[in-house]
Chain A
């Protein structure tokens, strides 16, 4: 027995010895240094770059044009760029370390800026870009982050996103110049001031038998609704949207913004509570069911297509489908009280741009591509083909119109860029729930009404702030 037992023990001892020696050796082994991806200025020859662009740029042929131009320009270096052919919301955090991610990515600032904490994207030498002094400070701020005590820039702004008011000029009352232009500036008051839009919408709804509406827009999407809170002092995160421990949708007089939402809902119908009106808005504006709505600049062609389908000519559409900046809000926070004057409506916006993956094998070629893609010519072409609002001030000034207006509003702080921290992902559902509740309240009756006073709205906003805080911090 002892002989056999000793034999078993000897076998186990061999295994244990191997386990201890090899296991410990592997655990104390230093981390592998595969070499840093650095911008040396020396282009890597024979590089193949995978570029992730947004779907619209691909569909409209812009990416193909950009790739062809770059490949031609850098053919001597044998650098080839190709479509990464991935979902536009590809997650670099999960794909990058395993070599599946793109080398260059084009996404909105809230998505790109989820990556710096894990060092998944490279800090860029922004000052080397010819667009450096052409882009507003607000645009750059969307891509700046302090990591380990030092501030870096992680993206190059390309496109400023901000909501616009779309309306049908031909649906204005015939006497608008005498009745609806109190300030005499030749612009209808209802597209300049929310108080007039509210009054006008009320008239249309009452006269339309519930079939026609003035302003119509679902409040479900926080992107389009949170601006009413911002306009009265609310904010998402403190310290310029960088401090997730300070959540401020209830701060300042944000409850006045909540009141605006509740009041606006009364001149619409219940479709403003859910999202059933969102996709139907193009057709509804084209048919004249709605006079005005709010959405982003890039869907202009959707309205045009719907109007064409209704038999309108291109000339008619060009003259009567009007886009303008969001109307001003009453300082009183009451759409029936203009006595305290007006304030700018501060809406949520975004900045889309390019970033370079830390996992790229060709950082210098990738940098050359981003410089090329953000050059004056390419941004101008992007604007022509896709109708984007360029973040480059020189292009925006040249094309003028809404590009200039949106850039000016960004500069003036009337567009609040989406927070560029990953905690931003946790604000949407609580806000969406709140806005649905506020809009629904306009249709509640008697004891069911939840938000009859500003105090009750303030409390609701505070609950939402707490909910967001809990979702971010409870489990950390």
Chain B
């Protein structure tokens, strides 16, 4: 029983004269992890920025939970239940954790002043319950600067869980992480399915992608050139496709 969560139809995105996305059609179901793969410049990042509201598409339609929507801003996409976890860029280095976790959706009173007590308390809860930071070295007052790559990623994940989003967007979540940290991140992605949450995720490492995703969408120069369910393709075949794409500059896919 599949229930559709997000659908993009005929999405085009131009930056000036450059056509970055050309007629992209994708669908993500509830409880499904979809991987976006493709070479640098294929339009993966632009596509997820369209989903998270950083960019507006030049044309095309988006529906979310069965409703037609126009995603105008990050704040709006977050409110709808789309949460982005961007590698490195999700957090601001010099600010404390308790500020970072609530950046852009602060807990405030009617006059816009922060409810510091509550933000700190909730941040503490997130560190403890969702991330499992028990070490004394990291507190809600730590700045991001002192955290390792995996710890930063953990904070970003914890944040997305806390805000109870339906669709989690992961932009290269394992880039620059150690093996153990990568393992944690991939486990996290797999764990999403159990909670019937969906994820769309970009990663250059096909092995990671194959392990964590249910479906693979291959992008090339702004177009979807292939789409496979995990049971349709083996890991080796997927790697083979990517090599072909890389060598020929274009793959013919009989999907």
A complexed with B: no
